[in-house]
Amino acid sequence: MNQYQNLPEEIQHRIDGIVQSNIKEYLYAHIQVELDQYHKKRLRQLIHNYYINWKEKHGFFISYRMIEEDILMWLNHPFTKNMDNPFMFGKTTQRFKNVMRRIFASRITNEVGYRNAIKNLRGPEIVNTILEALTVEELEKFYTYNMRWIGEYKQNNIIQVPLREHSYA
């Protein structure tokens, strides 16, 4: 510390700039990644708890195919409004296409392409693969979508404070 204070002021400013940039790089490379992983894990747990609680409350069996259907309904919203099947309208949203591109690294734009891509996967693998591919923001939106759909969040003017607003970098 004593040597630092003995340096000329312009060198001290250069050192300060380098230290600040190193701290920012460390935050982005390590802490922000860990924080995002923690938030994703927590949101996935909330989603799984939602289905467990639904099963206990209503005594209704919830399968992974039903969870997959809910995810696909959300991915294709608003084309799935008042539909029984996420692909019933015959259209898919850009959000669906982007998530499928992240998962399968190919352009899947319809039900046939999706069914072909998942034909060798079991229910839990499909659900976990899709949930893992979603970002923190998308997981938040999916969870909120489910909560509003069942009437848990009845107000339309809920103030959402997404986790991405608390980026500490």
Q: What is the pLDDT of residues 94-127, one digit of tens each?
A: 999 999 999 988 888 888 999 999 999 998 999 9
Q: Is residue 1 part of a domain?
A: no
- Angstrom CA distances, 19 to 6, 22, 27, 46, 163, stand at 18, 5, 12, 38, 27
Q: Is residue 2 part of a domain?
A: no
Structure tokens given for 159: 């103030």
Q: Is residue 42 part of a domain?
A: yes
Same structural domain for residues 151 and 167?
yes
Same structural domain for residues 90 and 33?
no
DSSP class of residue 11 equals: H
Same structural domain for residues 74 and 130?
yes
Q: Is residue 30 part of a domain?
A: yes
Rg (CA), the chain: 22
Looking at the structure of the chain, the number of domains it has is: 2
Look up the domain containing 22 and give its range: 7-58+135-169
> For position 169, what pLDDT does the model report?
45
The dihedral sign for the CA sequence 58, 66, 39, 154: negative
Same structural domain for residues 92 and 148?
no
Same structural domain for residues 24 and 79?
no
Q: What percent of the chain stands above pLDDT 70?
A: 87
Same structural domain for residues 101 and 164?
no
Q: Whose structure tokens read 């060198």?
A: 11
Structure tokens given for 40: 């994703």
Q: Mapping DSSP to helix (H, G, I), strand (E, B) and coil, where does residue 61 land?
A: coil
